[in-house]
Amino acid sequence: MTAEIISGKELSTQLRNELAEEVQDLKVTPSLAVILVGDDPASHSYVRGKEKACRTAGIHSIVKRHPTSLREDELIAEIDALNEDSSVHGILVQLPLPEHISEDAVIERIAVNKDVDGFHPVNVGRLLTGKKAFTPCTPLGIMKMLEISGVDPRGKHAVVVGRSQLVGRPVGQLLLNKDATVTYCHSKTKDLAFHASQADILIAAAGREGMISEAHVKEGAAVIDVGVNRVESTGKLTGDVQFEEVKEKAGWITPVPGGVGPMTITMLLHNTVEAARGTMFNDES
Ligand SMILES: NC(=O)C1=CN([C@@H]2O[C@H](COP(=O)(O)OP(=O)(O)OC[C@H]3O[C@@H](n4cnc5c(N)ncnc54)[C@H](OP(=O)(O)O)[C@@H]3O)[C@@H](O)[C@H]2O)C=CC1
Ligand SMILES: Nc1nc(=O)c2c([nH]1)NC[C@@H]1CN(c3ccc(C(=O)N[C@@H](CCC(=O)O)C(=O)O)cc3)C=[N+]21
């Protein structure tokens, strides 16, 4: 079997065009504030990608760039100001932050209704209890890719490799909310190949170049590659999945680049439009 390749790039083009039309019909121009601390080239590159994507969708974006030496209290003060500013609908603090700044303290400071990353504990808790919430962009993008491919998680065995707060945990939760049977694997898992090869839906989110081989994959499975690893020798990006061999066995597969990455940014635009509508928490009980 040769897998169907799910192009996050193509799907993103379509969804971003649809978002641009939605934006035209809004009374306000959605506005996203991105805070970037330090000089990590990958972070700067991601943030440029976000700025560009905002422009094409008609979303206003402001990027606040700071040196690594920025103090935590200065960052908190900036977030407070953005929380107060009614012209700003979404706030994203690019991670990771320098070691002297507490990521938890910073994320908790962001207003829940501007938390377009879905990292605030209130949004995390709402997701866990099945309520409407800002949902982390990468997991949301993954669910969209499965949906568009006609892969319904209900009753399927989903195996998630990785349990981070940003990717692994929330994607497992979304799959559970869609009635999948979910297994999480992580660095202490014994016999990863045994667990992974049981999966109807396999999410590879460990950040380990090429760790998922053909031996980890069940015939016909949907394989979603979240990993973004830069190969030292070539400078190229590659995923956690050995694409060439796995595509001969899987039913569906996502490439890197051009898979989950572009969808993450598309879902950020989606969440920003949602924040600008301001109706996420309207039916609060
Ligand atoms: N395409 C996109 O849009 C995005 C891509 N990414 C990429 O996804 C990957 C994961 O990101 P993130 O979740 O933030 O990373 P983290 O480093 O925070 O988490 C990695 C997870 O993988 C687990 N893990 C590590 N090694 C192994 C192993 N050998 N076997 C099984 N599990 C293992 C870790 O286990 P333990 O908990 O035990 O340490 C941990 O839970 C990275 O490559 C990152 O660049 C991230 C965000 C967005
Ligand atoms: N607060 C916060 N929110 C995030 O969502 C967040 C973050 N911090 N820190 C870092 C990770 C990583 N991440 C990616 C986004 C897009 C691509 C992406 O578009 N990748 C392209 C390639 C881009 C390139 O060529 O450099 C692709 O896979 O095709 C990848 C990774 C978001 N993250």
- DSSP string computed for 143-212: HHHHHHTT---TT-EEEEE---TTTHHHHHHHHHHTT-EEEEE-TT-S-HHHHHTT-SEEEE-S--TT-B
What pLDDT is recorded for position 284? 64
Which domains are seen in the chain, by residue range?
27-113 (3.40.50.10860), 136-260 (3.40.50.720)
What pLDDT is recorded for position 147? 98
Q: What is the pTM of this model?
A: 0.98
Closest-CA residue, ligand 1 atom 32, reads 186
Give the 3-state secondary structure of residue 34.
strand
Q: Ligand 2 pocket test: pick from 264, 266, 268, 269 the residue with the most ligand atoms within 8 Å of its Cβ.
A: 264
Q: Which of 114, 115, 117, 200 is catalytic?
A: 117
Q: Which pLDDT tens digit goes with each residue over 88-100?
A: 999 999 999 999 9
Q: Are 141 and 263 in contact (CB under 8 A)?
A: yes
Q: Which pLDDT tens digit goes with each residue over 143-200?
A: 999 999 999 999 999 999 999 999 999 999 999 999 999 999 999 999 999 999 999 9
- Residue 207 CB–ligand 2 contact under 6 Å: no
Residue 190 a catalytic site member: no
In this prediction, the residues of the chain whose per-residue pLDDT falls under 50 are: none
Residue 162 marked in a binding site? yes
Centre of ligand 2 from the C-alpha of residue 169, in Å: 17
CA dist 197 and 93 (Å) reads 36
Residue 266 contacts by C-beta under 8 Å, 6 or more apart in sequence?
A: 8, 11, 12, 15, 16, 19, 53, 141, 144
Centre of ligand 2 from the C-alpha of residue 261, in Å: 5
What pLDDT is recorded for position 232? 87
What pLDDT is recorded for position 134? 98
- Residue 30 CB–ligand 1 contact under 6 Å: no
Q: Are 153 and 175 in contact (CB under 8 A)?
A: yes
State which ligand 1 atom lies nearest to the alpha carbon of 259. Answer: 1
CA dist 268 and 285 (Å) reads 26
DSSP 8-state assignment for residue 110: S
Residue 94 a catalytic site member: yes
Task: Return mean pLDDT, the chain.
Answer: 97
What pLDDT is recorded for position 1? 77
Tell me the ligand closest to 136's alpha carbon.
2
Name the residue type at position 221. Answer: A
What pLDDT is recorded for position 282? 86
Centre of ligand 1 from the C-alpha of residue 164, in Å: 6
State which ligand 2 atom lies nearest to the alpha carbon of 138. Answer: 5
Which of these, 94, 113, 111, 145, lies nearest to 271 by C-alpha position?
Answer: 113
Write out the two tokens for 28.
Answer: 């306000």
Centre of ligand 1 from the C-alpha of residue 206, in Å: 3
